[in-house]
């Protein structure tokens, strides 16, 4: 008899949904494990239940009511097979036993997956029947799906929290340097500029030219300090990441940049960007900076492709690829550092540093590689909702 044909089908589905709602309120993986094992024991009356977590391809038992397993143990072969294939695995006879001579007659391993990523495996064993049928498999797969969603949400929150802590540390360092620049160096530059003005008014010829160069250098340095201060202030005021509609943000940026730069043609598939991501009010500035970068740092017409590539259930990449002159390999690895720019660039070198700081504050990262057309491809990884 199938799961749907069971006389208590409606009641069991209702119970599973209640556990699903409770799992989504869990704050830690440990809570998810405890609640899932409780459901396996109460709803299915399984003789044993084991929760195996899968993280970065590594499997380990988190908790089990089976005395043969302890926390941090390696899981059984049926659990490993379910994690590898992403498919439910059942076994009978000797293949189901955890130790030789046990009274186990059947084993069932159900992967808990989000899209194609297995986050956990639920394993149960029986000593009263020959094998598990559809009436056991389907409800356990539903419970596994609830557990996978809960774990995925928790891991996303953990990544965002780590990103926030890292950002706070970087902000503190930047703020310290900002205070030093504005106060100490700023005062020294005012003195230099003042003396240069006094010298320039009393000399002529080559000496006057040198004095003018000193004036220009001091004013440029003061302007740079001011811009750094503005950037720091912007980052300090940046709000907490929240779910935002990627499709509408990208479309608005593409339309705006296209209207501003006649030399730029942008290929953007709006329907492929139908996602929600974590970001702040300045998320559009991230995309604007990268797109305008292609126009400003290339001569002549430039073709740009904007695409959205999902990585997994939790992350995606917004890639901006052009057919321009590319990025100098000597600065590619450091391009997102504040103040770093190519040898022929006339910019300040802070635009892409600003991009990376914002993207990292959203729990993502930024990098640049060579595009298929030989130009530059900026890849912005963001957290999906």
Q: Determine the pLDDT at residue 346.
A: 47
Q: How many CA atoms lie within 13 A of 159 on its CB side?
A: 20
Cα distance between residue 336 and residue 378, in whole Å: 11
Q: Determine the pLDDT at residue 246.
A: 95
Cα distance between residue 67 and residue 78, in whole Å: 17
Flag residues of the chain having pLDDT under 70. Answer: 1-10, 101, 129-130, 166-167, 169-184, 220, 223-240, 332-333, 338-351
Per-domain residue ranges for the chain? 3-160, 241-385
Q: Determine the pLDDT at residue 130.
A: 66
- Specify whether the CB–CB gap between 107 and 123 falls below 8 A: yes
- Specify whether the CB–CB gap between 339 and 348 falls below 8 A: yes
Q: Determine the pLDDT at residue 6.
A: 57
- Specify whether the CB–CB gap between 157 and 29 falls below 8 A: no
- Give the dihedral of Cα atoms 45, 49, 55, 59; nearest 10 deg: -150
Q: Determine the pLDDT at residue 228.
A: 62
- Give the dihedral of Cα atoms 240, 241, 242, 245; nearest 10 deg: 140
Of 3.30.450.40, 3.40.50.11310, 3.40.50.300, 1.20.1250.20, which CATH number belongs to 3-160? 3.30.450.40
User: Which value, in Å, is the radius of gyration of the alpha carbons in the chain?
Assistant: 29
Mean pLDDT, all residues of the chain: 81
- Specify whether the CB–CB gap between 78 and 96 falls below 8 A: yes
Cα distance between residue 274 and residue 129, in whole Å: 47
- A 10 A CB-CB count for 13 gives 16
Closest CA to 86 of 65, 112, 56, 106: 112
Backbone angles phi, psi at 45, to 5 degrees: 55, 40
Q: Determine the pLDDT at residue 117.
A: 82
Cα distance between residue 337 and residue 357, in whole Å: 9
- The CA–CA distances, whole Å, from 186 to 178, 179, 181, 182, 183 equal 10, 10, 6, 5, 5
Closest CA to 144 of 58, 263, 253, 19: 19
Taken as a whole, the chain contains a residue count of 385
**Architecture of the domain spanning 241-385:** 2-Layer Sandwich (3.30)
- A 10 A CB-CB count for 241 gives 21
Terminal Cα distance for the chain, rounded: 38
Backbone angles phi, psi at 146, to 5 degrees: -60, -45
**DSSP H helix total and E strand total for the chain:** 10, 12
Q: Determine the pLDDT at residue 275.
A: 94
- Specify whether the CB–CB gap between 366 and 372 falls below 8 A: no
Q: Determine the pLDDT at residue 259.
A: 86
């Amino acid at each position: 008899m199938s799961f749907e044909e069971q006389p208590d089908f409606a009641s069991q589905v209702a119970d599973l949904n209640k556990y699903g709602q409770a799992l989504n309120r869990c704050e830690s993986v440990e809570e998810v494990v405890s609640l899932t094992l409780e459901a396996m024991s109460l709803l299915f009356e399984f003789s044993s239940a084991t929760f195996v977590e899968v993280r970065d391809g590594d499997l380990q038992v988190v908790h089990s009511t089976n005395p043969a397993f302890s926390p941090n143990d390696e899981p059984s072969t049926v659990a490993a097979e379910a994690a590898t294939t992403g498919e439910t695995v059942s076994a009978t006879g000797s293949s189901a036993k955890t130790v030789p001579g046990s009274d186990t007659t059947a084993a069932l391993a159900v992967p808990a997956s989000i899209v194609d990523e297995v986050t956990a495996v639920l394993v149960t064993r029986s000593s009263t029947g020959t094998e598990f049928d559809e009436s056991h498999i389907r409800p356990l797969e539903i419970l596994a799906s609830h557990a996978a969603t809960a774990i995925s949400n928790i891991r996303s929150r953990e990544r965002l929290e780590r990103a926030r802590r890292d950002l706070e540390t970087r902000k503190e360092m930047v703020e310290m340097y900002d205070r030093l620049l504005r106060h100490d160096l700023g005062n020294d530059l005012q003195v230099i500029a003042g003396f240069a003005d006094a010298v320039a008014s009393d000399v002529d010829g080559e000496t006057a030219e040198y004095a003018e160069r000193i004036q220009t250098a001091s004013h440029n340095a003061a302007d740079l300090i001011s811009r750094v201060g503005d950037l720091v202030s912007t980052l300090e005021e940046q709000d907490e990441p929240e779910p935002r509609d990627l499709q509408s943000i990208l479309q608005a940026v593409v339309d705006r940049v296209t209207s501003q730069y006649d030399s730029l043609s942008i290929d953007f598939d709006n329907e492929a960007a139908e996602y929600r991501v974590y970001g702040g009010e300045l998320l559009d500035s991230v995309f604007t900076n990268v797109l305008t970068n292609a126009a400003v740092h290339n001569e002549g017409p430039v073709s740009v492709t904007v695409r959205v590539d999902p990585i997994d259930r939790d992350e995606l990449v917004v890639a901006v690829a052009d057919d321009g002159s590319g990025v100098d390999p000597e600065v590619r690895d450091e391009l997102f550092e504040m103040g770093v720019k190519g040898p022929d660039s006339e910019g300040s070198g802070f635009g892409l540093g600003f991009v990376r700081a914002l993207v990292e504050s959203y729990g993502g990262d930024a990098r640049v590689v060579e595009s298929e057309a030989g130009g530059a491809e900026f890849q912005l990884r963001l957290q999906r909702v």
